[in-house]
């Protein structure tokens, strides 16, 4: 989970600011961009979108689900724009699709993704002037059909969708497409999915992955709601036994996915950083460990939560995963007493502080928050050994490297004065030639892959062998 919590905007001036940024983007695309070089136009647009959204709050869940294959098909529920953000009288830069193209595909892949965009009506000069610069895949959409065109003409034109989309994917570009073909407000989203994009996926060899992305609140004012996005686990149509466009299983599959999407949207609307559901699940899980000896509790944010093979990796120890993704130090502190009630841990392995870097706090401030949590733990368990994993040098947080080094140094110094505090040098173990080793991270550049966890496993096994007796 990634959240930009450091920016909070609660007044109308921020809506005006966003609108002005979008108007400026429109002007730069339509006037300054080279119509003959769509790659430069896409590159410029996606960089600008990253700059625009860097100013405002947003929430991304599930970035760990991004596939390594960048030429995947990214589907999403298409949301209306708030009318206040109109760039011209009859034109809006769609916030949800631009967010996916810039904040996700360009940021994480440096990918000049293509989109499936409806054709402009004859009188939609602003729409044409903008999208004509991108060389996107074009289709005629419902309720946007020129009066002079008949059904057969539209059908023939839209058949090009399959070839044009396949061409983009073969170029290595991601394809961003809404299966609905139209937009709705968050509360009504999504509309009925059409079959085209799912048929497309069965027709391309090698078969591309489909990455479902759930969007919420992009139809609202930025001063009133947080824009939210959740990336779900990718799949191939063949995973569901669908291997050709006329497969009889296709329609029920799409219908079922469509229905699930409605629940995904509802869940995302409610999503916040209080972790109520996650904590409730952890409280149930912890009952199995009450009264157990030689317990090792892993506590922290997504680095802990996403360690799916934790119990297998330390099969000869009693290990408990208390991770909840996106947690700040304050969240770990607030939930500590409830989670550790009736437990007697011998060792607590904790990863914390990485998410707090988004709060624009100083290294010293973050370290002091960490120290306060450690003191709280020892107040409850005076003799427990605490193993602090140093903050990792992720690609996502390159700009914070100096802060990370300083925090890790301060914690290392703290260990010199406390025999019950151990720091595992997780930072340097993830470097190669003094740079972040990309091979140890998932595609989002933030979370560890299996190779990254194996580095950590090696360090911790040596530590546990020294301080614990195995089962």
For residue 154, give every residue at least 6 positions away whose Cβ sits within 8 Å of its Cβ, in sequence order, or none: 140, 145
25, 126, 254, 277, 434 from 31: Cα distances, Å: 10, 11, 41, 49, 43
For the stretch 436-457, pLDDT in tens is 999 999 999 889 999 999 999 9
Domain co-membership, 183 together with 299: no
What pLDDT sits at residue 241?
97
What pLDDT sits at residue 7?
44
For residue 259, give every residue at least 6 positions away whose Cβ sits within 8 Å of its Cβ, in sequence order, or none: none
3-state secondary structure of 206: coil
| CATH code of 52's domain | 3.40.1130
In the numeric block, the tokens 């770990």 are attached to 332
For residue 420, give every residue at least 6 positions away whose Cβ sits within 8 Å of its Cβ, in sequence order, or none: 378, 383, 384, 385, 386
What is the C-alpha to C-alpha distance for residues 253 and 431, in angstroms, rounded to an integer? 43
Domain co-membership, 261 together with 307: no
What is the C-alpha to C-alpha distance for residues 260 and 256, in angstroms, rounded to an integer? 6
Residues of the chain with pLDDT under 70: 1-12, 33-36, 272-274, 468-471
Nearest C-alpha neighbor of 276 from the set 239, 331, 209? 331
Domain co-membership, 229 together with 367: no
Domain co-membership, 285 together with 418: yes
Q: How many CB atoms lie within 10 A of CB 418?
A: 12
CB of 85 within 8 A of CB of 52?
Answer: no
Domain boundary, last residue among 224, 241, 270: 270
Domain co-membership, 255 together with 300: no
Find the DSSP H helices in 149-226.
151-158, 160-170, 196-203
What pLDDT sits at residue 118?
92
CB of 252 within 8 A of CB of 44?
Answer: no
> Count of H helices and E strands in the chain?
16, 15
Q: Are strands 385-389 and 345-351 parallel, antiparallel or unpaired?
A: parallel
Find the DSSP H helices in 341-449.
363-380, 401-415
Tokens of 129: 């002037």
What pLDDT sits at residue 12?
53
What is the C-alpha to C-alpha distance for residues 407 and 336, in angstroms, rounded to an integer? 22
Domain co-membership, 246 together with 329: no
Tokens of 97: 């699709």
Domain co-membership, 398 together with 372: yes
| CATH code of 353's domain | 3.40.50.1110
What pLDDT sits at residue 258?
97
Domain co-membership, 159 together with 17: yes
Q: 112: exposed, middle or buried (C-beta count within 10 Å: 0-12, 13-18, 19+)?
A: buried
What is the C-alpha to C-alpha distance for residues 223 and 86, in angstroms, rounded to an integer? 16
For the stretch 259-310, pLDDT in tens is 999 999 999 998 765 688 889 999 999 999 998 888 999 999 999 999 999 9
What pLDDT sits at residue 149?
73
In the numeric block, the tokens 């995947």 are attached to 72
Task: Give the domain range for residue 358.
Answer: 276-467
CB of 436 within 8 A of CB of 393?
Answer: yes
Size of the chain, expressed as the number of residues it contains: 471
Domain boundary, last residue among 241, 270, 299: 270
What is the C-alpha to C-alpha distance for residues 354 and 391, in angstroms, rounded to an integer? 6
What pLDDT sits at residue 377?
97
Domain co-membership, 164 together with 298: no
Domain co-membership, 8 together with 69: yes
Question: What is the tally of structural domains in the chain?
Answer: 2
What pLDDT sits at residue 470?
54
Nearest C-alpha neighbor of 245 from the set 330, 166, 184, 343? 166
Domain co-membership, 259 together with 281: no
Tell me how far the alpha carbon of residue 391 is from its chain's centroid.
20
What pLDDT sits at residue 195?
96
Tokens of 249: 């299983």
Domain boundary, last residue among 223, 240, 270: 270
What pLDDT sits at residue 40?
92
Domain co-membership, 304 together with 252: no
What pLDDT sits at residue 33?
64
């Amino acid at each position: 989970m990634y959240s930009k919590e450091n920016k909070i905007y609660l007044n109308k001036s921020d809506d005006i600011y966003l609108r002005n940024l979008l108007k400026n983007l429109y002007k730069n695309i339509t006037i300054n961009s080279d119509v003959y070089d769509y790659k430069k136009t896409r590159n410029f647009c996606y960089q600008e979108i990253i700059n625009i959204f860097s100013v405002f709050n947003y929430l991304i869940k599930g970035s760990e689900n991004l596939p390594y294959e960048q030429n995947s098909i990214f589907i999403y529920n298409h949301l209306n724009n708030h009318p206040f953000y109109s760039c011209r009288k009859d034109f809006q830069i769609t916030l949800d699709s631009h967010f996916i193209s810039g904040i996700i595909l360009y940021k994480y892949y440096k990918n000049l993704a293509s989109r499936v965009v409806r054709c402009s009506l004859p009188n939609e000069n602003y729409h044409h002037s903008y999208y004509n610069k991108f060389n996107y895949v074009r289709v005629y959409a419902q309720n946007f059909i020129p009066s002079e065109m008949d059904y057969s003409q539209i059908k023939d034109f839209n058949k090009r969708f399959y070839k044009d989309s396949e061409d983009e994917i073969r170029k290595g570009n991601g394809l961003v497409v809404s299966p609905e073909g139209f937009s709705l407000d968050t509360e009504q989203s999504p509309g009925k999915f059409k079959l085209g994009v799912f048929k497309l996926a069965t027709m391309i060899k090698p078969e591309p992955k489909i990455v479902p992305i759930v969007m919420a609140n992009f139809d609202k004012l930025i001063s009133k709601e947080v824009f939210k996005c959740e990336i779900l686990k990718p799949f191939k149509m063949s995973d569901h036994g669908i291997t050709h466009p006329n497969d009889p299983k296709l329609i029920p599959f799409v219908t079922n996915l469509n229905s699930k999407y409605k629940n995904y949207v509802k869940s995302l609307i409610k999503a916040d950083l209080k972790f109520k559901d996650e904590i409730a699940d952890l409280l149930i899980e912890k009952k199995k460990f009450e009264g157990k000896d030689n317990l090792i509790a892993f506590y922290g944010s997504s680095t802990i939560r996403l360690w799916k093979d934790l119990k297998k990796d330390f099969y000869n120890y009693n290990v408990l995963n208390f991770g909840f993704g996106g947690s700040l130090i304050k969240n770990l502190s607030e939930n500590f007493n409830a989670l550790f009630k009736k437990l007697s841990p011998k060792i607590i392995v904790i990863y914390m502080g990485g998410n707090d870097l988004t709060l624009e706090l100083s290294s010293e401030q973050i370290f002091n928050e960490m120290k306060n949590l450690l003191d709280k733990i020892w107040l409850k368990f005076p003799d427990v050994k605490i193993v602090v994993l140093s903050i990792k040098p992720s690609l996502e947080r390159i700009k914070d490297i100096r802060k990370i080094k300083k925090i890790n140094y301060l914690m290392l110094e703290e260990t010199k004065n406390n025999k019950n505090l151990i720091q595992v040098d997780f930072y340097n173990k993830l470097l190669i030639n003094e740079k972040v080793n990309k091979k140890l991270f998932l595609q989002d550049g933030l979370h560890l892959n299996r190779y990254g966890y194996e580095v950590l496993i090696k360090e911790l096994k040596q530590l546990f062998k020294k301080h614990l007796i195995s089962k």
